[in-house]
Structure 1
Amino acid sequence: MMRGSLNGATSTLVGLLSSSCCLIQLILNGLSLLQVVHVGCAGFQTWLGGTTRLYIRSVSMVWLVTLWARALFTHPKKHIQPQAKGTSCCTNDFEFDGSTEVHLLSRRNKSKLRLLCWSVWTLFLMWLPEGLQFLDSRNTSNVFPIRALLLDSAIIPSSTGGSISQEKERHVEYVSFVVDNMGCEACESMVKRILLESQHHEQEDDAIRLDMQQVTVHWETGLAELQISSSSSFTSLDKENLQSELDARLRHHGYALYPLGHITKKMQLMDNTIIPTPKDNPFQ
């Protein structure tokens, strides 16, 4: 009834192009977590990001508005030109009876419902990158708030075998690294998940325990800022050991971790010579 109406394939294609194929990157990240395939960043943002994404989104929004305008303000009779018995094909004297009107209205309502469902799906895919960033901004840590509350109130025993008073005397350190091979918001979410899963790191040689409390990641610059709680003073050797372990975890999933000052591939592609620098305390 409505020419150019949305269907599943068109809706998905428009949504993917408008989000630089964010959903595909999320699927690849999920397969990496399941140990099926480790691709890292597939590079969709390189071709479909920036001004290209803005242009595609603008065209897609105009297209959606046009579809809805036609669906809401076009009379259903204009879409059907039935031929009555005994009349010529060029005759316009055909009259719609009551049952025909009801049938047309029913078809029109079903078409509107389909258009609504596929429009919501298109918009969901279109704004998926911003949704990921919003969720990540509200979840820099998956255990820190509850764990800190319990430790400060001395409700739970020490998990390292020491007394509660010893557990409360932990040192908070802020360390920063540069993560390469990130190209979009989905990669940023994946890297943050990997870093947050690196909880309770044990230094076997001197029994130093490190807990990852909060993590912030910026995919544009590759900057990763970590808030770490340690059972003793955090030395340069501890930082090197931590960097080696985190780098191994990230490389397993297609990413890489470097010290501050490293120029990422994305920055090289953009001819950006600005070296990322951490804030004094990014978690305040």
Structure 2
Amino acid sequence: MGRLVPAVTRALDVLELFLESEAPLSAPDVMRRLGLPRTTVHELVTTLAARSYLVAVPEQPGRYRLGVRTYQLGSRYAEQLDLAAEGQQVAREVAQTCDETVHVAILEDTDVIYIAKVDSTHAVRMVSAAGRRLPAHCTSVGKMLLASLPEAELDARIGGVELVAMTPDSITDPEVLRTALAEIRARGTAFEHRESNPDVSCVAAPVRDSAGRVVAALSVSVPMIRWTEARETELAELALKGAGDLSVRLGHRGAR
């Protein structure tokens, strides 16, 4: 574990005082409660106010309350919690329908992070797990999410980045990846055949929020011994329905 940064710890201590107090606090209040020097407290409060984590109360000179930035952070945290909770519920419903493994994942940089997973009742060896991070270009959920990015953002994320291989079938050529992503955008679903796991194929569909932004992807994973063209079509429709259901739960009206 890395070393804690004293200045950051003190700043968080200041913010957490406001969680315990219903009334605005002044710099002397903070000094008394935390036992910090006057200069240190004034520097901390000034910095937090400059970044909108604290805001001065006009009718009470010298006193502060939590600022809009803390609300924004809390809202983002709540959104992520909702997505994970709703994703787990929808993944469970999809898995009950097809008895295959279902994932929900989000994109972070050039990786995907799985936020929900429901396993098949069949014994299947998977490289994925809730909370695990995998290279986006090797997975159906990752390719779906990359394909949903604006071109400039996609270039910023994958330009100059080495595309590592997880299996012999993983895409490692950037131009091949771009071609695959263009096909995904046109089709609306993403497929992966033995690209992250030599024994598994997957199909994924996009999950949208209330503003229509793609915020996650839902996939169905199947062992190659059960993967057929007919099954591919069936599971693609199921992934689209599941992603649509999750999008509706997140407030997207056009998901269906």
* Structure number, greater radius of gyration: 1
TM-score, scaled relative to structure 1: 0.23
